[in-house]
Amino acid sequence: MTRERKNSRRERITVQRQMAKLLESGVLLRFDRTLDETLQHIVDVARLVIGARYCALAVLDESGKFSRFFYSGVSKEEAEKIGELPQGRGLLGLIIEEGKVIRLRDLTKHPKAFGFPPNHPVMKTFLGVPIFVNGKAFGRLYLTEKIGGREFTKQDEKLALLLAAQASVAIERAILTEQANRTERLELLNEIIGSLSRLTDEQSVLETATEGIHAALPFAEVATVLYRPNESLSLLCFPKSSRLGLQLRRPCLKVHRTPFVICMQEKKPLSLPNMSVEKAETPFERWLARRGFRSLIAVPVFMGEQVLGVIFAAAIQPDAFNRDDLTFLQTISDHVAVALTNARLLQELREKERVRGLLLTKVVTAQEEERKRISHELHDQIGQLLTALLIQLQLLERDLKWDRGQGTRDTFEPPLLERLKLLKQLAEEISLQLHHIAWELRPPALDELGLVAALERITDEWSKRFNIPCEFTTNGSINDEILPEMAIGVLRIVQEALTNIAKHAKASKARVSVQQEDSELVVTVEDNGVGFKVSEILKHPDENKRLGLLGMMERAAMLSGNLTIDSKPGKGTKVQVRIPLPKGTWSAGHRTWDTGREFARPPSRVPPLMRRRD
């Protein structure tokens, strides 16, 4: 009796120690682990608390088959030699089918035993318990080979059931935590994707992706790198205060010197869960290991067959990344590839637009110079010839009148004098029209008096020519420092707008205003005419219908300005151009100009040089 009491007391002490180990294990006290970490912790704790040499936990899928397998007491090398994992047939299947504990002295003698595959450790004593989560079978926890050569006891069975109950709570909490984390990560992913879709430059795309990934993986160092045609990787973007970015001095790395070769060549993700200097296969991997990094994941960024770069994350903890982390990186990389491709296409388009703008500017400048040259030639050369012709006609008319006064009246018939008078009128009309053409090609007021005076003259002449009242207003604070190319561009826009009013608007009045608003020159041309639908005209298949509007927009764009057209049927039309002004263009003083100089205004009568000298 004394010996039995001592054995019973020793067994109670052993149970108490086992219970203490179970409580110290913290199965239920820590909820910061992932589901995989929790399952691995359960088998490690179960093997320690119950005192078994081997322990395993098989997770079931929807069909009741083993989907995942966690083990303790067997090394990875030994597990690889065993090969195929258990399928849940035979003895292991009874644990779920019967929903109860199975405790055996020798599992090899059980009628449901299937035997062991090659290289499998020898196992005899067996203890298996089911694990249920939310009333559903989740998996099977089983232990083999009780330490000390004994068989598993009734107390071991109670401990296994207690551990299974605690494991159930811990697993449920881990599942809920992962679901919450997935929801949070999904929201972050949607935010990152939304931001990427709105970006239009390469650097912003890389920065947004890197910062977003770092927010999802705060324990890791993240970088985005771009692939270059010379087979190098340009490390362009790190999060702010990145430890990796501060330590890495080289701006570029050769692909073959990094572990990212598989990403670049095969377009596959890379995972290195346990890096070390000894195991490093590339210089960059060795460089990371020497700085304390133990885990690395990387995904390629590619569009079609073109590889654009790599996104990678490194952590100081071994096996720091799980499948969800890799999937998250892959999802981000897909959208980064689209955003980078769009950014590069947009950059190419902008460059083409820039070159086109430069060429267009040169063409327009050449046109304006040619207009100026032709205007001067018409005025200075042909105009002078017409003036000489008109003078000769006037002299001839005077001589004819003198001869008639000398009594030679019968020599010249009256029709001849009438024809001479007609020729003189034709010469005057040609001279007047020629002056109009020269003035429209290049208004002298633009060069002599500046933009505002030229616009006032154009408005006044247009009003008289088409008999449409047109008001001209300005805030009176514009000086003569407006650049010539800006002045001629604004002048052409106003000319085109007034021409459109005369041709199409059927307006009874119009208005032209030149104003200063902050550092912008704002020129407005508006009328009370019939108006039109702007979108329809701009999309009209007949290019001639929209050429004038597009021409005004092009001129405004050449001046880094913006032209808007506001019009509705029956509501008139308002054309407004806003052009940024260089510093010093505007003065606070009041600007006045001379409006009485004849050469600044297109003539409504014969110019002074061509007037009759009676």
Residue 609 confidence (pLDDT) above 50: no
Statement to judge: residues 207 and 177 lie in one domain: no
Q: Which residue has the higher pLDDT, 344 or 370?
A: 344
Statement to judge: residues 90 and 237 lie in one domain: no
**Enclosing domain of residue 100:** 2-181
Residue 395 lies in a domain: no
Q: How far apart are CA 224 and CA 210, in angstroms?
A: 6
Statement to judge: residues 149 and 50 lie in one domain: yes
Helix (H, G, I), strand (E, B) or coil at 367: helix
Residue 351 lies in a domain: no
Name the least confident of 264-278, 327-341, 402-416, 552-566: 402-416
Average pLDDT over the chain reads 76
**Nearest CA-CA partner of 220 in 309, 332, 322, 333:** 322
Q: How far apart are CA 494 and CA 458, in angstroms?
A: 9
Q: Position 430: which residue type?
A: I
Half-sphere exposure (Cβ direction) of 69: Cα atoms closer than 13 Å: 17
| Four-CA torsion 539, 540, 543, 546, nearest 10 degrees | -70
Residue 387 lies in a domain: no
CB-CB contact of 411 with 428 (8 Å): no
User: What was the pLDDT predicted at 294?
Assistant: 92
User: What was the pLDDT predicted at 15?
Assistant: 59
How many CB atoms lie under 10 A from the CB of residue 301? 30
How many CB atoms lie under 10 A from the CB of residue 522? 16
CB-CB contact of 324 with 217 (8 Å): no
Statement to judge: residues 454 and 561 lie in one domain: yes
Name the least confident of 180-194, 365-379, 526-540: 365-379
Q: How far apart are CA 496 and CA 599, in angstroms?
A: 23
Statement to judge: residues 168 and 225 lie in one domain: no
Helix (H, G, I), strand (E, B) or coil at 19: helix
Residue 180 confidence (pLDDT) above 50: yes
Residue 476 confidence (pLDDT) above 70: no
Residue 432 confidence (pLDDT) above 90: no
Residue 223 lies in a domain: yes
Helix (H, G, I), strand (E, B) or coil at 386: helix
Residue 528 confidence (pLDDT) above 90: yes
Q: How far apart are CA 191 and CA 552, in angstroms?
A: 40
Statement to judge: residues 129 and 159 lie in one domain: yes
Is residue 469 within a helix (H) or strand (E), and if so which, with residue range? Answer: none
Statement to judge: residues 552 and 473 lie in one domain: yes
Name the least confident of 57-61, 227-231, 247-251, 571-575: 247-251
DSSP annotation string for 389-443: HHHHHHHHHHHHHHHHHTT-GGGS-HHHHHHHHHHHHHHHHHHHHHHHHHHHHS-
Q: Position 559: which residue type?
A: L
CA 525, 531, 536, 537 torsion: positive or negative?
negative
Residue 455 confidence (pLDDT) above 60: yes
Q: How far apart are CA 326 and CA 340, in angstroms?
A: 20
User: What was the pLDDT predicted at 122?
Assistant: 73
> 598 falls in which pLDDT band (50, 70, 90)?
very low
Residue 602 confidence (pLDDT) above 60: no
Statement to judge: residues 152 and 274 lie in one domain: no
Residue 71 lies in a domain: yes
Residue 31 confidence (pLDDT) above 60: no
Q: What share of the chain is helix, strand, coil (3-state, %, to 5)?
A: 55, 20, 30
Q: 582-586, long-range: CB within 8 Å, 24+ apart, which pairs?
A: 582/483, 584/481, 585/479, 585/481, 585/482, 585/483, 585/521, 586/477, 586/478, 586/479, 586/516, 586/519
- Rg of the chain's alpha carbons, rounded to an integer? 46
Q: What sections of 267-413 are H helices per DSSP?
A: 283-290, 323-377, 383-405
Residue 147 lies in a domain: yes
CATH number at residue 569: 3.30.565.10
Question: pLDDT exceeding 90 applies to what percent of the chain?
Answer: 11
Residue 526 confidence (pLDDT) above 90: yes
Residue 383 lies in a domain: no
User: What was the pLDDT predicted at 253?
Assistant: 73
Statement to judge: residues 174 and 208 lie in one domain: no
Of 293, 321, 349, at which residue does a domain stop? 321
Is residue 105 within a helix (H) or strand (E), and if so which, with residue range? Answer: none
Of 116, 149, 181, at which residue does a domain stop? 181
Range of 246-255, 414-423, 461-470 with top mean pLDDT = 461-470
Statement to judge: residues 219 and 153 lie in one domain: no
Q: How far apart are CA 574 and CA 148, in angstroms?
A: 98
Name the least confident of 211-215, 259-263, 405-409, 456-460: 405-409
CATH number at residue 245: 3.30.450.40
User: How many domains does one find in the chain?
Assistant: 3
Q: How far apart are CA 562 and CA 548, in angstroms?
A: 16
Angle between helices 543-558 and 323-377 (to 10 degrees): 100
Of 151, 181, 211, at which residue does a domain stop? 181
Query: If you average pLDDT over residues 378-392, what whole number do you get?
Result: 71
As to burial, measured by CB atoms within 10 angstroms (0-12 exposed, 13-18 middle, 19+ buried), residue 381 is exposed
Query: If you average pLDDT over residues 80-85, what whole number do you get?
Result: 66
Statement to judge: residues 260 and 313 lie in one domain: yes
**β-sheet with 520-527: strand ranges across:** 470-474, 510-517, 520-527, 573-580, 562-567
DSSP annotation string for 453-467: HHHHHHHHHHHHHHT
Helix (H, G, I), strand (E, B) or coil at 529: coil
End-to-end CA distance of the chain: 160
Q: 9-15, long-range: CB within 8 Å, 24+ apart, which pairs?
A: 11/153, 11/155, 14/155, 15/155, 15/159
> 576 falls in which pLDDT band (50, 70, 90)?
very high
Q: How far apart are CA 110 and CA 113, in angstroms?
A: 5
CB-CB contact of 40 with 70 (8 Å): yes
Q: How far apart are CA 223 and CA 238, in angstroms?
A: 5
Query: If you average pLDDT over residues 2-7, what whole number do you get?
Result: 62
User: What was the pLDDT predicted at 611?
Assistant: 34
Residue 127 lies in a domain: yes
Statement to judge: residues 88 and 215 lie in one domain: no
Name the least confident of 51-65, 281-295, 442-456: 442-456
CB-CB contact of 358 with 558 (8 Å): no
> 383 falls in which pLDDT band (50, 70, 90)?
low
User: What was the pLDDT predicted at 261?
Assistant: 85
Burial code (b: 16+ CB inside 10 Å, e: under 16) for 175-191 equals eebbeeeeeebeeebee
- pTM for this entry: 0.53
